């Protein structure tokens, strides 16, 4: 059996880099004294522990922990003001005024300030909160995080988008650093990002930060997670839990400590491009999730995999996913649920109610009982889907037949799907060798492709009594959705569904390939 290569499995990024040679050779230089009125860190921790050991003073202990956390993560006021000025003006240079107050600027007699800036935090952290996730908990959690790390370092993701923060906020820090602000450089190089939301929110933040690779603006900040979604499969996979606990006030503080102290792992990310016939009326009907973007008109190049009719020009959109992409009945159920949540948000007030409504939509859409009005010839995806893949260590496309009973196709990157289930299963070595598969990992550059039949089959898969219908493992995927009697196809990636209009004459194509750089996510199980 072939062993599976792992691109980032041995990479573990510690909290802080080891001291440079210049730092080790300058022990005689004095450190800046702590600010007046602030207790030394060691003393605060000892006093906190002494209160705990006596069994009283819990409130005092909490205060000392909060002070310790704030000292670790809080940006200097001048940098916070500069960052928000850049975001308001949508211009990275709008925060240039902070340079006037930067310590050590123009001071060539004290090189210590360039080695250890006196106002740079030890573990700088910012947080993004999706107020629409977690029922009513999102806005309350936002207030709690603002109490712990400062109001200016917690962003409402519906007001300050991650892409704007990357372009203007981080751009501001980079410009200050290039101008000689050593504190801004330290914050930029050591920054970490906490994301409170579901898998879609986490993927959105990871995708925006991934643009830093493309723009040669490294290092890329790693991401921690507070799970507020329904499934939270990304959160489960990296030790952040299935949901946020009821004791959320204590949990918020604990999560922040994990975010600044946890090690960092690599995660594969997958680029998806959808090429559809250019038809104006169809394009207007297309309501894409925020994780996808329009690319406009482009030319489709067939390399021998297409079977249906091809238009001369196509309209394209693309995005990135981290956990899964699916097409078929499961995406149709997810789309109906998201439409309801958008129209009547009071019904989806928490994870439990979300799952109950989700189960209701599963029955309503005919996954358990195929609707009588449906054409029997259209019940299985094999009637409209042509699947081509590239296998490990191969550059050639290979056509893979889709089983006639499959009504949903899923390309999975992580071990968790649909609220922590493992539909691929823990396969025995003999079975892997027989099928030509290798053991599934999240950072190996391979997707697991499986199918789900009726709702009854999917239910047994979800309770892990059986495995899903194994189809293939692939390093690249091309799905051709043939034009015909189907008017729409439902798709989703990382819990974000959309309704894809189809042409009656031409094919629509979905291309998936691995992004050449890793996404960085913090392990929540370290503490």
Query: What pLDDT does 431 receive?
Result: 86
Q: What pTM was computed for the model? A: 0.75
> What is the pLDDT tens value at each position of the chain, 527 positions in all?
444 444 454 444 333 333 443 333 333 333 333 343 444 444 444 344 433 333 434 444 566 577 888 889 999 999 999 999 999 999 999 999 988 887 766 554 444 444 456 678 889 999 999 988 766 678 888 999 999 999 999 999 999 999 999 999 999 999 999 998 989 999 999 999 999 998 888 988 998 999 999 999 999 999 999 998 877 888 888 999 888 776 777 888 999 999 999 999 999 999 999 998 876 445 456 788 877 888 888 877 777 677 777 777 788 999 999 989 999 888 888 887 777 666 555 555 555 555 555 555 555 555 554 544 454 444 567 778 899 999 988 888 999 998 888 888 999 998 887 776 788 878 888 988 888 888 888 788 899 999 888 766 676 776 777 778 899 999 999 999 886 667 888 899 887 889 998 888 888 999 999 999 999 999 998 76
In the chain, the domains with their CATH numbers are: 58-106+115-262 (3.40.50.10330), 270-516 (no CATH)
The tokens for 522 are 């913090």
Q: How many CB atoms lie within 10 A of CB 332?
A: 24
Distance CA 80, CA 150 (A): 10
DSSP lists the bridge partners of residue 479 as 387, 510
CA nearest neighbour of 508 among 411, 334, 386, 328: 386
Query: What pLDDT does 363 receive?
Result: 53
Query: What pLDDT does 358 receive?
Result: 54
DSSP lists the bridge partners of residue 367 as none
| Burial track 275-287 (b if 16+ CB lie within 10 A, e otherwise) | bbbbeeebeeebe
């Amino acid at each position: 059996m072939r062993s599976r290569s792992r691109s980032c499995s041995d990479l573990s990024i510690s909290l802080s880099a080891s001291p440079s040679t210049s730092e080790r050779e300058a022990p005689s230089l004095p450190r800046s004294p702590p600010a007046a009125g602030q207790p030394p860190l060691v003393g605060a921790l000892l006093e906190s522990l002494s209160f705990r050991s006596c069994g009283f003073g819990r409130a005092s202990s909490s205060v000392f922990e909060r002070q310790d956390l704030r000292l670790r993560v809080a940006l200097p006021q001048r940098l916070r003001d500069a960052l928000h000025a850049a975001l308001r003006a949508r211009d990275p240079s709008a925060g240039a005024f902070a340079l006037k107050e930067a310590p050590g600027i123009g001071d060539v007699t004290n090189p210590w300030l360039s080695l250890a800036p006196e106002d740079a935090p030890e573990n700088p952290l910012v947080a993004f909160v999706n107020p629409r996730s977690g029922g009513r908990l999102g806005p309350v959690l936002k207030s709690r995080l603002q109490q712990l790390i400062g109001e200016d370092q917690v962003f409402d993701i519906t007001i300050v988008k991650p892409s704007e923060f990357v372009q203007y906020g981080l751009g501001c820090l980079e410009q200050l650093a290039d101008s000689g602000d050593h504190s801004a450089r330290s914050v930029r190089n050591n920054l970490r990002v906490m994301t409170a939301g579901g898998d879609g929110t986490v993927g959105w933040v990871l995708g925006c930060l991934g643009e830093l690779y493309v723009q040669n603006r490294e290092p890329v900040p790693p991401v921690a997670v507070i799970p507020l979604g329904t499934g939270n499969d990304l959160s489960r996979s990296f030790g952040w839990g299935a949901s946020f606990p009821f004791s959320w006030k204590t949990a918020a503080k604990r999560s922040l400590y994990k975010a600044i102290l946890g090690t960092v792992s690599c995660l594969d990310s997958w680029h998806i491009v959808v090429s559809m016939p250019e038809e104006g009326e169809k394009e207007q009907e297309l309501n894409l999730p925020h994780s996808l973007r329009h690319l406009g008109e482009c030319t489709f190049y067939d390399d021998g995999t297409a079977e249906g009719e091809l238009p001369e020009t196509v309209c394209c959109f693309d995005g990135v996913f981290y956990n899964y992409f699916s097409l078929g009945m499961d995406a149709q159920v997810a789309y109906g649920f998201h439409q309801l949540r958008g129209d009547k948000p009071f019904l989806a007030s928490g994870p439990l109610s979300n799952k109950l409504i989700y189960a209701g939509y599963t029955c309503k859409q005919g996954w358990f009982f195929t609707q009588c009005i449906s054409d029997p010839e259209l019940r299985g995806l094999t009637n409209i889907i042509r699947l081509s893949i590239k296998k490990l260590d191969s550059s050639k496309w290979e056509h893979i037949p889709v089983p006639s009973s499959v009504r949903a196709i899923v390309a999975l990157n992580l071990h968790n799907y649909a609220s922590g289930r493992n539909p691929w299963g823990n396969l025995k070595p003999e079975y892997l060798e027989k099928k030509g598969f290798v053991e599934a990992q999240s950072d190996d550059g391979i997707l697991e492709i499986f199918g789900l039949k009726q709702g009854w089959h999917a239910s047994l898969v979800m309770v892990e009594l059986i495995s899903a219908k194994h189809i293939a493992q692939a390093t690249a995927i091309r799905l051709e959705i043939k034009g015909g009697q189907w008017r729409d196809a439902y798709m989703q990636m990382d819990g974000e569904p959309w309704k894809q209009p189809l042409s009656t004459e031409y094919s629509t194509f979905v291309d998936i390939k691995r992004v050449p750089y890793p996404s960085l996510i913090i392990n929540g199980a370290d503490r």
